[in-house]
Amino acid sequence: MTADPRTPMRADARRNRDQILAAAKVVFQAQGADVPMEDIARSAGVGVGTLYRRFPDRESLIRAVARDSFGRVLEEVRAVAREEPSAWDTITRLLAHSRELRVTAQLALLSERARAVITGDPDIRGFRDEIFGLIDDLVAAAQREGSLRTDIGAGDIGVLLSLLVRHFPAADTGVADMMLHRATALILDGLRAPGMPLPGRPLVQGDLA
């Protein structure tokens, strides 16, 4: 049984939980959401019993990782929007540098089990709706600036992100990083106004499963 989330955790319990979540993000990204729980405990530097006291099953750990990542994404989008001088710079930075966006997207893309947990959780849906609302605002602002093409919607940004998180078949991590940077640069170049006309219509949140 997990502790009541409304009950404040001791410092050591909070530290263990944070270590487990951080390790799970790394291990899930590298090996998928079906990796043995023992591997996650070992990576976190805690015993398996400690892991199961905090997260009694894989679904509860996936849910906690996704909630933590979506919450961090929301904070990140807000912070980047405050720090960058324009909506275009904000979109560029989010696409190019957001590790948390990649964690959450990769979980949903690479695991049927994780996708079921993520789509079925009301807290995660709430985070997702807030994030898409902010991206909608950024898209509209960048279009008013004249920097983003006018036939783009927030759903298009979500689709492009899903392309960027897929595995790059590289010989080593250095080449993989270069592939990612080049693909991101090409995508950003395609997003700039005015651009060639796109088929169909701008995608919105409701278009994405």
Centre a 10 Å sphere on the Cβ of residue 208 and count the other Cβ atoms it contains. Answer: 14
Count Cα neighbours of 140 within 13 Å in the Cβ-side half-sphere.
Answer: 7
DSSP 3-state of 128: helix
Provide the pLDDT for residue 25. 87
Provide the pLDDT for residue 41. 95
| Sign of the C-alpha dihedral computed for residues 144, 150, 154 and 157 taken in this order | negative
Alpha carbon separation from 13 to 16, 20, 55, 129 (Å, rounded) = 5, 11, 12, 31
What is the pLDDT averaged over residues 67-76? Answer: 88
Q: Write out pLDDT tens, residues 131-163.
A: 889 999 999 999 999 999 999 999 998 888 877
Q: State the burial class of residue 38 (Cβ atoms within 10 Å of its Cβ: 0-12, 13-18, 19+).
A: exposed
Q: Write out pLDDT tens, residues 82-124.
A: 999 999 999 998 887 766 666 666 666 567 788 888 888 999 8
- Mind giving me the DSSP string for 76-135? HHHHHHHHSSSHHHHHHHHHHH-HHHHHHHHHHHH-HHHHHHHHH-HHHHHHHHHHHHHH
Provide the pLDDT for residue 119. 85
Specify the pTM: 0.79
Q: What angle do CA 21, 46, 14 make, to 5 degrees?
A: 50
Domains belonging to the chain, first-starting first, are 1-56 (1.10.10.60), 59-207 (1.10.357.10)
- In this structure, what DSSP letter does residue 151 have? T
